[in-house]
Amino acid sequence: MSSALTSVVAMPRELAAPNPAPLARADAKRPVFVVPVKTELTTEQASSLLAGAYQKVTGEAPTPECTALLTAQWAHETGSGSSMVNYNFGGIKGAGPDGHSVLCSTREGWGANEVRIKDGFRAYTTAEDGALDYVALLKRRYPEALEAAKNGDPNGMVRALKQGGYFTGNEAVYTRSVTRLASEALPDSPLLAAARSAPPPLAPELVTFGGAEFPGSDLRASALHGRVDTAPFVGALALADEVSRAALSLLSANREDHPSRRKET
């Protein structure tokens, strides 16, 4: 990424519809699926579009860190523009403002739980429309993430996105990627430098056994070696109660058997 994030660059032309006939507007329940078209952008183009969209949506100019972080997320989601389709800036699912959607392959989850599926993603006819809808979505549904971006906080931005359900991948990996990409754009930013030196967030894996899930703990080592008991889980309080009852019963039996409590025959 270059440092000329907000420079004025040539904007991509409007994406031509695959059919000469005008595309129908979808109703509220059924999207109109259009042909996927790769719409590669340069980093400078994406940065300029996102900065402009932010100003239109929020009414204020973005900070350099904000522009860098929004561009970094775009780069993370689209492979720096190489896998951008129909001007979708953030891998946003569903239908765009005109109701248009494209069917694409995607990965959900991460690690052992990662699966590959096909899903509908928002489609736009212009890059400006895609950038505006992306920033508007952040403002509407992920305001904490947009505020963190404004403050130059990649950790807070990604955490808010994860907690809001924006993505299902590994939070730590996502954070490292966004932080690195933003830092490459603004290498002299003290805010991003501080974020780079901060310990990465921990996203604990869940260990599943007996139909119950537990945050990754000391059971994980046993799970990796196939020694996790798959018997139904017994709640810790219930188990403690049973142990206490057994101990009291044993103590009572010992008292009854004590020589001082035996009846003379």
Higher pLDDT, 3 or 95: 95
- H runs (alpha helix) in 60-126: 64-78
pLDDT at 94 over 60: yes
Question: Can you name the CATH fold of 32-197?
Answer: Lysozyme (1.10.530)
β-strand partners of 116: 107
User: Taking residues 43-47, what's their average pLDDT?
Assistant: 97
pLDDT at 256 over 80: no
pLDDT of residue 198: 73
pLDDT of residue 122: 95
User: Taking residues 243-255, what's their average pLDDT?
Assistant: 60
How many percent of the chain have pLDDT more than 90? 53
Q: What is the pLDDT of residues 172-218, one digit of tens each?
A: 999 999 999 999 999 999 989 888 877 766 656 666 665 555 554 44
pLDDT of residue 7: 37
How many percent of the chain have pLDDT more than 70? 63
Assign 3-class secondary structure to 114-173. Answer: CEEEEEEEECCCCHHHHHHHHHHHHHHHCHHHHHHHHCCCHHHHHHHHHHCCCCCCCHHH
Cβ atoms < 10 Å from Cβ of 26? 16
- Which of 22-36, 76-90, 99-113, 142-156 comes out lowest in average pLDDT? 22-36
Whole-structure pTM over 0.85, yes or no? no
Boundaries of every domain in the chain: 32-197
**Banded pLDDT at 113 (limits 50, 70, 90):** confident
Phi then psi for residue 246, to 5 deg, are: -65, -40
User: Distance between CA atoms of 254 and 100, rounded to whole angstroms?
Assistant: 77
Identity of the highest mean pLDDT range in 35-49, 102-116, 184-198: 35-49
User: What does the mean pLDDT of the chain come to?
Assistant: 77
